[in-house]
Amino acid sequence: MMKYSEEFKLKLVNEYLAGPLGYPRLARKYGISSHGQIARWVRAFQAFGKEGLRNRQKNKVYTVQFKLDVLHFMKQTGASYQDAAIEFKMHNPTLIAKWKQTVMAEGAGGLRKKGRPPMAKNPKKKPAKPAGTMSREAQLERENELLRLEVAYLKKLDAFQENPDAYLEKHKQRWHSNSKKKDSD
């Protein structure tokens, strides 16, 4: 999409307002592909003056509620995108068209701000851990511990599978004797 200067837009708007040429002829005369663009400039100029023709340097952020209000207004009144933009003091009616398209495709949830969430002002710094902080000896001791636990688990599983009732009875007795010790303390 080509960006036009404020002076160029003002020149076309003034020529339209002063002269006999309509939107299509002005578009052909200046090589603009859509005469609707000139119509939007004229409406923006009539509503906001020269301010309506300015190119925006910074994107304005609108709340989800504001977007829904604009779309609701359009639905209730049958207003065009341009009329709604003027009513809500917006300079870009195509933005409203994008909102409507988003709501139709994704629902109202699609109007939420997209992208990466902002970073916290004071991010919590995590202490940096070097990848290999454990010595080789500590790593081997850890591996031995895990293997011992695995062997003990497999032995208990094997004993349970051979005779589940005896295994459960043995552990019930151990549990009862441990609980009696705690009660006597």
Look at the chain and count its residues: 185
Residue 146's pLDDT is what?
Answer: 92
Residue with tokens 């006597």: 184
Q: Could you tell me the CA-to-CA distances from 60 to 36, 53, 57 in Å, in that order? A: 24, 16, 9
The answer to whether position 159 is within a domain reads yes
Domain tally, the chain: 3
- Whether pLDDT at 147 is above 70: yes
Same domain flag for 46 and 85: no
Instruction: Give percent above pLDDT 90 in the chain.
Output: 6
pTM attached to this predicted model? 0.48
Which residue did the predictor score with more confidence, 123 or 23?
23
The answer to whether position 126 is within a domain reads no
Same domain flag for 62 and 73: yes
Same domain flag for 32 and 79: no
CA within 13 Å, CB half, 74:
19
- Whether pLDDT at 133 is above 80: no
Residue 144's pLDDT is what?
Answer: 94
pLDDT in tens, 1-51: 567 788 888 888 888 888 787 888 888 888 888 888 888 888 888 887 877
Helix residue spans in the chain (DSSP H): 6-18, 23-30, 35-48, 64-77, 81-87, 93-106, 136-162, 164-184
Which CATH number characterizes residue 24's domain? 1.10.10
Q: Which of 4-13, 26-35, 97-106, 174-183 has the lowest mean pLDDT?
A: 174-183
Residue 176's pLDDT is what?
Answer: 58
The answer to whether position 140 is within a domain reads yes
Q: Which residues contact 123 (CB under 8 A, 6 or more apart)?
A: none
Residue 14's pLDDT is what?
Answer: 86
- Whether pLDDT at 126 is above 90: no
Residue 172's pLDDT is what?
Answer: 66
Query: Do residues 67 and 61 lie in contact, with contact meaning Cβ atoms separated by under 8 Å?
Result: no
Which residue did the predictor score with more confidence, 162 or 58?
162
Query: Average pLDDT, stretch 153-169?
Result: 79
Domain that holds residue 143: 136-184
The answer to whether position 128 is within a domain reads no
